[in-house]
Amino acid sequence: MLAYKFLRPGAVGPFSATPWPAPADGGPGAWVRATAGDRALCAAGVHACDVDDLPFWMGEELWRVELEDPVERRRSKLVAPAGRLVARVGAWDEAAALAFMDATVDHIRETDTGGYMTEAEIFCVGDAGRSDPFGNAALSTMIAVEAAERAGGLDAVRAERRRQAAWLAERLRLTSG
């Protein structure tokens, strides 16, 4: 099954610092496998995203990954015994992250009832925002969700996550499954 995964620069796992082998010779990278004794790589399996999960896990590099069966659907992530990198989603770059952040800040501005624009302005606007495009884009997802919760509760939170995912899917031309 194909899915997506955010990684740190150099295709490094964001929490375990596991290096993910890059695709080579036109083929996918080597399999990365979760093993029972390896606490660094979650023993339950390798994690990945489908399009709806992406806003939770925003990072510097976005990759298309192949997951080995059986793939388990959990809240906000997919879990599989192994995964391998298929291709980099080159469209996800600093410019895209900054555009995402701008769109998210615009949305906060339009819907905020709890003063969250103050935070958005501190971290996600102008030079401050640009000082760390990927980090602040990720932060904007959270500020937007907090603002949504204040404005409209859980329904608004879900809608905001869908908006974030839809934005990414359209901009990056992502497909599900």
Residues interacting with other proteins, by CB under 8 A?
14-15, 17, 39-40, 42-44, 56-59, 74-77, 118-119, 132, 135, 138-139, 141-142, 145-146, 149, 154, 157-158, 161
Of the pair 17, 24, the CB lying nearest other proteins is at: 17
> Measured on CA atoms in the order 87, 91, 94, 96, is the torsion positive or negative?
negative
Of the pair 74, 175, the CB lying nearest other proteins is at: 74
- For the bound state, the minimum distance from the C-beta of residue 158 to other proteins, rounded and expressed in Å, comes to 6
- The partner residues of 102 in beta bridges, in order of sequence, read none
Sheet holding 32-33, edge to edge: 2-7, 61-67, 82-88, 32-33
The DSSP H or E segment spanning 25 is: none
What's at 169, amino acid-wise? A
Of the pair 118, 176, the CB lying nearest other proteins is at: 118
- For the bound state, the minimum distance from the C-beta of residue 116 to other proteins, rounded and expressed in Å, comes to 10
CA distances in angstroms from 88 to 64, 95, 111, listed in the order given: 6, 16, 34
- For the bound state, the minimum distance from the C-beta of residue 171 to other proteins, rounded and expressed in Å, comes to 19
Q: d(Cα 67, Cα 72) in Å, to the nearest integer? A: 10
Of the pair 22, 44, the CB lying nearest other proteins is at: 44
- For the bound state, the minimum distance from the C-beta of residue 26 to other proteins, rounded and expressed in Å, comes to 30
Q: d(Cα 157, Cα 149) in Å, to the nearest integer? A: 5
Q: d(Cα 62, Cα 91) in Å, to the nearest integer? A: 9
Of the pair 23, 59, the CB lying nearest other proteins is at: 59
- For the bound state, the minimum distance from the C-beta of residue 155 to other proteins, rounded and expressed in Å, comes to 9
